[in-house]
Structure 1
Amino acid sequence: MTEYLSLLLFVAAVGVLLMGYSVAFSLAGTGLLFAGIGAVTGHFDTVFLEAIPNRLFGVMNNEVLIAVPLFVFMGVMLEKSKIAEELLDTMSVMFGPMRGGLGISVTVVGMLLAASTGIVGATVVTMGLLSLPTMLRRGYDPQVATGVICASGTLGQIIPPSIVLVLLGDVISSAYQQAQLDQGIFSPETVTVGDLFLGALVPGLLLVAAYIAYLIGKAIFSPHTVPAIPKEERDGVTNLGARILKALVPPILLIGLVLGSILGGFATPTEAAAVGAVGAIALSIFNGSFSLNIMKEVMRSTTQVSSMVFIILVGASIFSLVFRGYGGDDMVRDFLTDLPGGVWGALAMVMLVMFILGFFLDFIEITFVVVPIVAPILLAMGLDPIWLGIMIALNLQTSFLTPPFGFALFYLRGVAPDSVTTGQIYRGVIPFIIIQLMMLALLAVWPSLATWLPEIVYG
């Protein structure tokens, strides 16, 4: 009976979310409501609620999660200080002489912006405002233009350093330790955020390369859809070398410094994120765009995003405790282990459920609510934690891109001109969805794409 109540709890939480209520309070509210009902009816042991203070104290003392506001600050500063805009303009001039060059520049800048921001909505909206009018004005097919922007914006899910991987790394680490304890294994071995960064590097770069290859293919077989920048416009550009050095080199050095210090073991993710935040301020000063008003806007945006992340984590912690108190984790474990196909059947079911939930929930909710439930079970069945984390990140990235509910599509629709139809946006992302699914299949067949680099670096 209690296991069915855990299923009803999950359905109720999703229903409340779909009604439009705040995610954090929906999770915490439904959890506490069902805990109260279960306590009255004798189906729930309130001792689980006594663990809430320890859970919340653990969240506040988690040094890894301090990296979240610092990485957000770094990304928002690069956006607000117009560094991203200048970077896009310079890349456009660099690739302008070739067909598809503007699309390639959008992909590369989207990758850099996604790596620094790590938030799908912020990247898609920024790229939509900066590049979509330019691409349309220069004769790009609206489907190609919108598809490139949406796909590039979702790269923040997989390209390190990424907030998604920071959060996922913390959850996967806890799940890995839980899986070991469930098997009676007491080992200090764990999974770090740096492991996930390394694991995501090869799949992420392969994905970017596949996007660029698709644009080159469009330039060859459908050149009218991705025209080059007119020669007279290119001839009006002076001091291209100086512009490239000023716009391109500093952001790449900053991201390289942050990522390199983590992967090289010189700094923790939190320390590297602090370096990135200070570096973003230095870049804005160097670029001549720093001001107190921009600083206020960046701090306000950082506070809003960080508060959202942590309050959702608090709500998700309460929800998961009540879910476990009803025996929901045992029900999920029995369901997954009884599926035909063994571990692969269980993995396929989890990926399908996460893919569908990605239509309605942001990555933060899925990371904090769903992953802690299913990850210990899958890891106990023998899956590699790094590979599983990258598979989840790539799967959610595909979900956010898929019509009719993909988040990236709605973000772009909100800033796209009326001349661009929703149907064009939907059709534009289909080739990139196919690329994503091919990458997901490739990673499933060759897990070493995600595990090879961590094994080399960390032995």
Structure 2
Amino acid sequence: MMENLDLIMFAALIAVILLGFPVAFSIAGVAVVFAYFGWALGAMDITLLGAFSQRVFGLISNQVLIAIPLFVLMGALLEKSRIAEELLDTMGRAFGQLHGGLGISVILVGALLAASTGIVGATVVAMGLIALPTMLRAGYDPRVASGIVCTAGTLGQIIPPSTLLIILADVMSNAYQQAQYEQGKFAVEALSVGQFFAAALVPGLVLVCLYLVYVLLRGWIRPDEMPGISTEGRRPDRAEVLSAVIPPILLIFAVLGSILGGIATPTEAASVGAIGALLMAGARSPENRRLILVGAAGLIALAIAAGLFPVRLQRSDITLPATLMGGLYVVLTVIGLVGVFTALRNTLGTRIMHGAVTSTLTMTAMIFATILAAGMFSLVFIGLGGEERIAHWLANLPGGATGALLVTMLIVFFLGFFLDFVEISVIVLPLVTPSLILLGHDPIWLGIILAINLQTSFLTPPFGFSLFYLRGAAPKEVTTGHIYRGVIPFIGLQALGVALVWFFPALATWLPAAIF
């Protein structure tokens, strides 16, 4: 029993989570109990837990993870201000007359919301409340409609900016550095969130294309399952489409463009996104809308001008033109601040900000509590010899590096039936990824292929989170069986996406290599 205590510990964790206890407390509780068992049986040196305080300090001082609450706030503001609803309504009326047109609009909106919010739960619930009833009224098969809504909502996990990618970048960077230390290198390289954002962009768009092709083909082969609807008199004109689509696209460009262009770190870009979402939410109210738009224009002009003509006012040899430009930048900053404070007042008056901050606090606390608990769990697991067991096991699997990765992918896929992506990312991946990197796998490619696999965990019955989100928001005529059966074809498309990235690694490695 003593030599298998690490395996028993992992099995106990899954059992406790399935019993319904809060995840963070389950992870930490199992870790404490098995630390005591290991110490009592002489299988573990209890002083190893002294390193937990270092892990706590490392977490709260991690500059990368600060981006998480800012990106969550950005998404919560867009969701609470009903910008997602306007997008869905406009795109639905634009494509609704086609067979499968409503499904196309839901996937396109899901991709836009993924790139501007990254919050799966909010996106699935919003589309479940707005798009799903419309699709059912149009005569869509409940299974097809449910599958489309669930899948489009999970795009927020793979299309940057994504909470999954931020956590995964931190995990993979630590694993890469650990692998380099084990190879005897002391001048180690680190991986950035920007590299993972760039790497995930093309695979994310490939998945969107796969979904669109599937919906178009199914609408053509079985038109009775996805009929077109009459939009005469309700079709949006060009101005309406542009007014609904351009603000989220500008926000996406500001956030991803600043990261991929090397202008800002992910944390700085997340703050840009949060301010942009605040301005968009504030401009929804007619009160002082023009002032907010002028403030937004001032900030955009400031960002462009400062990027093209940087000014250092503290220099002793500053010229008169540079001084004048600096004065202009100060004026633009004041104009932008007036717009931001006006938007803040509007969102506080309509209580949009209250709901957004509450959602941000809840989700951020859940994520960081889980990461902290996972730090305790991994310490105990390592103390019980689990890390050496996994490294030995992966190194001796048939098929070498390919066989080890294939088995890891299957394990991660099946764990997705029971665990959330956060638990898998911070508990399982730190244990296996250093060994996989040592076996020769590119860390960025490895991270993206695991990310697509983890995205599937939101869709896999019986515990896929997207399925539960939709179950809570769906009309009564949509049963749990409809939802489960509806996502099965899309799980197959996810597997196809993994295969494409597996056999064509350039899909994930070309863009980060070109930019960074």
- TM (norm. structure 2) is 0.85
1:286-337: per-residue Cα shift (whole Å, max 9, x none)?
Answer: 2228531111111011000001111111100011111111111000111111
Partner of 2:451: 393
The 1-side partners of 2:94 and 2:284 are apart by: 20
Instruction: Indicate how the Cα distance of structure 1 residues 98 and 183 shifts in structure 2: closer, same or farther if over 3 A, else same.
Output: same
Partner residue of 1:358 out of 405, 416, 419: 416
The 2-side partners of 1:30 and 1:188 are apart by: 34
Amino acid at match of 2:55: R
Partner of 1:235: 233
Report how far residue 237 of structure 1 moved. 4.7
The 1-side partners of 2:410 and 2:466 are apart by: 19
Partner secondary structure for residue 291 of structure 1: helix
The 2-side partners of 1:190 and 1:234 are apart by: 55
Pick which of 218-227 and 85-94 moved more: 218-227
The 2-side partners of 1:215 and 1:129 are apart by: 21
Amino acid at match of 1:407: F
1:357-393: per-residue Cα shift (whole Å, max 9, x none)?
Answer: 1111111111110011011111111101111111111
| 1:304 counterpart = 2:362 | yes
- The correspondence of residues 10-29 of structure 1 with structure 2, limited to 5 A, is 10-29=10-29
| 1:135 counterpart = 2:127 | no
Partner secondary structure for residue 283 of structure 1: helix
Amino acid at match of 2:232: R
- The correspondence of residues 191-210 of structure 1 with structure 2, limited to 5 A, is 191-210=191-210
Q: How many residues align?
A: 455
The 1-side partners of 2:5 and 2:475 are apart by: 47
Amino acid at match of 2:233: D
Partner of 1:376: 434
Amino acid at match of 1:388: L
| 1:253 counterpart = 2:250 | yes
- TM (norm. structure 1) is 0.96
Asked whether the 8 Å contact 2:24–2:369 carries over to 1, the reply is yes
Report how far residue 441 of structure 1 moved. 1.1
Asked whether the 8 Å contact 2:93–2:234 carries over to 1, the reply is no
Question: Gapped runs of 5+ residues in structure 2?
Answer: 287-345
The 2-side partners of 1:86 and 1:181 are apart by: 51
Amino acid at match of 1:329: E
Question: Gapped runs of 5+ residues in structure 1?
Answer: none
Asked whether the 8 Å contact 2:181–2:188 carries over to 1, the reply is no
Report how far residue 422 of structure 1 moved. 2.4
- The correspondence of residues 14-53 of structure 1 with structure 2, limited to 5 A, is 14-53=14-53
Asked whether the 8 Å contact 2:100–2:226 carries over to 1, the reply is yes
Partner of 1:271: 268
Identity %: 56
The 2-side partners of 1:278 and 1:423 are apart by: 41
Asked whether the 8 Å contact 1:172–1:385 carries over to 2, the reply is yes
Report how far residue 122 of structure 1 moved. 2.4
The 2-side partners of 1:37 and 1:148 are apart by: 47
Partner of 1:217: 217
Asked whether the 8 Å contact 2:56–2:372 carries over to 1, the reply is yes
Report how far residue 75 of structure 1 moved. 0.5
Partner of 2:488: 430
The 1-side partners of 2:246 and 2:109 are apart by: 12
Partner residue of 1:283 out of 280, 283, 295: 280
Instruction: Indicate how the Cα distance of structure 1 residues 3 and 69 shifts in structure 2: closer, same or farther if over 3 A, else same.
Output: farther
The 2-side partners of 1:247 and 1:241 are apart by: 10
The 1-side partners of 2:38 and 2:171 are apart by: 27
Report how far residue 265 of structure 1 moved. 0.8
